[in-house]
Amino acid sequence: MSHILNGKNILVIKPEPGRPLNPIIETKTKTIIKETKSEIDINAIAQAVVKAMGGRNFSNNNVNDDFTGSNSMERMADIMSNISNKDGSNIDKIGIIKETKRDEKETNNTIDLLSQLGD
Amino acid sequence: MSEKKEVESELKPGVSVDVGTSFLVTSRQKKDGTFVNKFYRNCLLPMDINDESTDLLERSNYFHIKTKDQYFVVGEDAISLVSAIGKGEVVRCMRDGFLNPDLSSSSDLLFDILSSLVGKPIIEGENLRFSIPASPIDRDVDNVFHKMVLQGFFTKLGYDAKPINEAMAVGFNDNPIMKGSDGQEVPLTGIAISFGAGMQNLVLLFRGMSLMEFSCTKSGDHIDEMVSKVTGVSKDKVIRIKERSLNLDKIDDSDRVSVALGIYYDELISRVIHNISNKFKEKKGEVDGMIEIVVAGGTSLPLGFCKRFEDKVMKSDIPFKIYRVRHSQAPFFAVSQGACLRAQSDYKKALGNRA
């Protein structure tokens, strides 16, 4: 049911017994949503998401994504998994090696069992 | 034949990487069954680029990465340097089992360290398995993005890469057994738990398949932090005591750090048992026999851990019978070795498909 109250168009819902009337006022919500949508800064969202997910500067990677599709995360993961070359680093030979003896037969049995399983 | 080529020819195809919060481990297996594990502490010390730091790093043998605006001293060297200069704080590429969102370029730095550790594939498209945690039950985050980023990275290195649940890998390495009601032993059936620095990961296996898996945060790092807070002793010192002298069978009552470590270990064990019990009751499952629990991971290393866990689990209300609790035969390498066996099974399967 629709009424005019103080010059505004309102929708009146029949109140439950004992509850006050709570009119729902029709506003210009639709217009506001339209204005907000046109102000979306896709790169800002990209930067924020990337920061939240492990931080990496995407400014040179031409992020062209409106974050509405299901592949957005995949694309971002792909960009983040790039391998970089850093001059001035010296970590080619890092790592401590430790060998552990194992029965060859026993581990081969496990490999046989596992190769019968799915992924 | 060069020395490197000779070593490579002894190795079977199929490699693994345990991407842990505190340590990174890679494993390969030789043809005689021996595992070759390579590990490094997963931490960094950031330093500004200036004449002083450049001079220090040029004159020393500290492993480091140079980025556009910072140096990062890597692993054990980062810890040694903090101790030597008495200032600075190490940071981690990972936090609570996932990429650390507080560290800018965490994935970039992690990949630098990982690519040095794992090296190149020994055959084209070599099978690789990397560990991932199950999605935690006490934190609003899942493992999907973490998995995608790592898979993309290893694929770009030239591997045929797939993820493996961390606790499953422990199960594959240590083969828990169920003793059936008919007296038969069922392989790869039981509970496997990895107690890491950032998380505990747990799986209930049946013949090598996962029936139930989950992870919880607040693990080894949490213990260090809490003990440091309640005793006022630095976290570095707490870690040293925990790693070098803690014996959970014989707590020295006069040492407040050991007493506090004992209390927080008890809390961790009780919490894990409570979670197993609750999750299993939710599933409304039944186990037809007595199962074995295998435990592994750096946080399980203190002497007496396994016995304390077994004492508590036997008195708990877990709705199935436990045959025994067993410590992994290689607690620190169990995840990586189990994942390596899985990678080898992938290779075997691929060979079978090609034939």
B175 in the same domain as B314 = yes
The H or E element containing residue B186 is strand B185-186
Residue type, B266: D
Model confidence at B101, pLDDT cuts 50, 70, 90, reads confident
Residue type, B180: G
**Complex prediction ipTM:** 0.86
Report helix, strand or coil for B10: helix
Residue B174 maps to which CATH number?
Answer: 3.30.420.40
B35–A83 C-beta distance less than 8 A: no
Phi, psi of B344 (to 5 degrees): -65, -35
Q: Is residue B106 a part of any domain in this protein?
A: no
DSSP state of B43: -
List the end-to-end C-alpha distance of chain B, in Å, as a whole number: 30
- Within 8 A of A107 by CB-CB distance, chain B residues are 29, 33, 341
Number of domains into which chain B is organized:
2
Q: Is residue B232 a part of any domain in this protein?
A: yes
Q: Is residue B206 a part of any domain in this protein?
A: yes
Residue type, B185: E
B53 or A81: which leads in pLDDT: B53
Distance from the Cα of A65 to chain B's closest Cα (Å) equals 17
Q: Is residue B132 a part of any domain in this protein?
A: no
Q: Is residue B60 a part of any domain in this protein?
A: yes
Strand order in the sheet with B127-132: A96-100, B35-41, B23-29, B15-19, B127-132, B160-165
pLDDT digits (tens, 9 = 90+) for B207-254: 999 999 999 989 999 999 999 999 999 888 898 899 889 999 999 899
pLDDT score at B3:
57
Q: Is residue B231 a part of any domain in this protein?
A: yes
What is the chain A residue with the closest CA to B209? A117
- Within 8 A of A71 by CB-CB distance, chain B residues are none
Cα B37 to Cα A110, B22, B82, B119, B151: the distances in Å are 19, 16, 27, 13, 21
Q: Which of A80, A85, A92 to mutate to test the interface with B (most CBs of B within 10 A)?
A: A80
B283 in the same domain as B176 = yes
Q: Is the dihedral of CA B113, B115, B119, B122 positive or negative?
A: positive
Q: Is residue B265 a part of any domain in this protein?
A: yes
Q: Which of A56, A88, A97 sits opposite B105 (nearest CB)?
A: A56
Report helix, strand or coil for B322: strand
Dihedral of the alpha carbons of B98, B103, B108, B111, in degrees to the nearest 10:
-40
- What does the block give as tokens for B172? 């594959």
pLDDT score at B87:
79
B180 in the same domain as B319 = yes
The last residue of one of the domains, among B56, B91, B126, is B91
- Within 8 A of B75 by CB-CB distance, chain A residues are 94
How many C-alpha atoms does B6 have within 13 Å on its Cβ side? 3
B318 in the same domain as B222 = yes
Lowest mean pLDDT among A33-47, B7-21, B79-93, B299-313: A33-47
Mean pLDDT of the A82-107 span: 84
Q: Is residue B266 a part of any domain in this protein?
A: yes
Q: Which of A89, A108, A109, A116 to mutate to test the interface with B (most CBs of B within 10 A)?
A: A89
Range of the domain at B57: 44-91
